[in-house]
C-alpha cells in the first residue's frame, strides 16, 4: 500500500473509531439527554476516556486525510491551504478533548473557555478545509467528476455550521450531533475515495 493510500486507510479507521465511540457514548450515558446535551458533556464522567480516545483518533484522521489528499492530487491541483486547515482542525479537536467544557451547574472557568474556542475552531477549520479541498479537485482530470458533489456537500455543511451557531433556539445536542454526522459523512467518503481511487470516470479522463 502506497503512502497516500496508507494515510487514507488510517484516516478512515480513525473516523470510524470516532463514530463508534460517539454512538457508544449515546447508548451508555443514559443519564444525559442526547437532544439537549452537546457532545462535549460526554468527555466528562463515565466513559469519558473512551470518548476522548475517539476525539484523538479523529484529530489524527483529519491530519492524515489532508496529507493523503495533498499527495494524491496532481501537482497543479495541490494546495497547502486545505492541508494546513485540516491540521489546524485536528489540533483544535485534540485541544477540545483536553480542556473540559463547563457544565450548566458550575460557574465559567478558563478551561471551559478554551474548550469552547477550540471546539468552534475545529468546526470552522474542518468545514473550510472541506470546501477548499473540494474546490481543488477541479484541477485534476482524474478527480474532476467528484468536484460538484464534494463541493455542494461541503458548502451545505458550512452553511449549517453558521445556522447552528446563530439559531440559538435549536436543541443544542441534537443540532450539534446532526452537524457532526454530516461533516463526518463527507470526511469518510473522501477518505474512502482516496483509498480506492477516483473511480472509472477518473480513470478514463
Please provide the DSSP assignment of 115-142 as one string: HHHHHHHHHHHHHHHHHHHHHHGGG-TT
Average pLDDT over residues 7-33: 95
Residue 62 host element (H or E): helix 48-72
In sequence order, the 6+-apart residues with CB closer than 8 A to the CB of 13 are 57, 61
Model confidence at 201, in pLDDT bands (50, 70, 90)? very low
Q: Is the dihedral of CA 183, 147, 135, 84 positive or negative?
A: positive
Closest to 7 measured CA to CA, from 66, 47, 55: 66
Q: Is the dihedral of CA 31, 34, 35, 37 positive or negative?
A: positive
Model confidence at 104, in pLDDT bands (50, 70, 90)? low
Cα–Cα distances in angstroms (integers) from residue 10 to residues 66, 170, 192, 200, in the given order:
12, 35, 10, 24
Q: Please check whether residue 130 is in contact with residue 187, taking contact to mean a CB–CB distance below 8 angstroms.
A: yes
Q: Which domain holds residue 187?
A: 3-204
pLDDT of residue 163: 94
Minimum mean pLDDT range among 62-76, 138-152, 160-174 = 160-174
| Chain segment 28-66, per-residue pLDDT in tens | 999 999 898 989 999 998 999 999 999 999 999 999 999
Residue 50 CA to residue 63 CA, distance in Å, equals 21
Cα–Cα distances in angstroms (integers) from residue 41 to residues 26, 131, 146, 147, 178, in the given order:
11, 29, 36, 36, 16
pLDDT of residue 19: 97
Average pLDDT over residues 80-98: 97
Number of independent structural domains in the chain? 1
Residue 164 CA to residue 3 CA, distance in Å, equals 37
In sequence order, the 6+-apart residues with CB closer than 8 A to the CB of 117 are none
Q: Please check whether residue 71 is in contact with residue 79, taking contact to mean a CB–CB distance below 8 angstroms.
A: no
Q: Please check whether residue 139 is in contact with residue 82, taking contact to mean a CB–CB distance below 8 angstroms.
A: no
Amino acid at each position: 500500500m502506497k503512502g497516500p493510500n496508507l494515510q487514507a486507510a488510517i484516516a478512515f479507521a480513525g473516523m470510524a473509531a470516532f463514530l463508534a465511540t460517539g454512538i457508544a457514548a449515546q447508548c451508555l450515558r443514559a443519564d444525559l439527554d442526547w437532544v439537549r446535551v452537546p457532545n462535549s458533556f460526554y468527555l466528562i464522567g463515565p466513559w469519558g476516556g473512551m470518548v476522548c480516545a475517539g476525539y484523538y483518533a479523529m484529530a489524527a484522521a483529519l491530519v492524515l486525510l489532508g496529507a493523503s489528499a495533498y499527495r494524491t492530487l496532481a501537482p497543479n491541483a495541490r494546495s497547502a491551504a486545505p492541508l494546513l486547515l485540516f491540521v489546524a482542525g485536528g489540533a483544535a479537536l485534540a485541544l477540545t478533548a483536553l480542556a473540559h467544557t463547563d457544565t450548566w451547574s458550575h460557574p465559567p472557568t478558563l478551561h471551559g473557555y478554551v474548550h469552547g474556542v477550540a471546539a468552534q475552531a475545529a468546526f470552522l477549520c474542518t468545514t473550510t478545509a472541506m470546501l477548499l479541498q473540494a474546490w481543488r479537485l477541479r484541477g485534476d482530470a482524474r478527480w474532476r467528476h467528484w468536484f460538484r458533489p464534494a463541493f455542494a456537500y461541503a458548502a451545505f455543511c458550512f452553511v449549517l455550521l453558521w445556522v447552528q451557531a446563530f439559531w440559538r433556539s435549536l436543541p443544542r445536542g441534537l443540532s450539534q450531533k446532526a452537524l457532526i454526522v454530516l461533516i463526518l459523512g463527507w470526511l469518510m467518503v473522501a477518505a474512502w475515495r482516496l483509498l480506492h481511487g477516483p473511480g472509472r470516470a477518473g480513470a478514463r479522463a
